[in-house]
Structure 1
């Protein structure tokens, strides 16, 4: 099962989960992913240890986690 997360200053927020064999969950996850990417969020695929940037508007269905993030102020 994959998880789509949104990184916030308070931690990661679970947006949606999907199972590749469940078409309805895949469609919901794809729509949610495209929604946030359309708001200039960047995406990385993670296995819990390594992070790999995702290019494009297609959710990698084999990912354990996809994390959406945007620039957060600091300094």
Structure 2
């Protein structure tokens, strides 16, 4: 039986990781495109501030400053 693995970031191919509440990190609530926290933060600070798949503007996550 194959082991279930955590989703991988489609930008850097590392583990997407968890939120401060222990839930899987979801950068885009519209299409749930797998992006890790680091790539999400980079995109919010230096990029288009939107999901690379559906172009929905990223929302601020718990514990993060608004831009």
Shorter-chain TM-score bucket reads 0.3 to 0.5
> Is the helix fraction higher in 1 or 2?
1
Q: Which has the higher contact order (CA 8 A, sep 6+)?
A: 1
TM-score normalised over the length of structure 2: 0.33
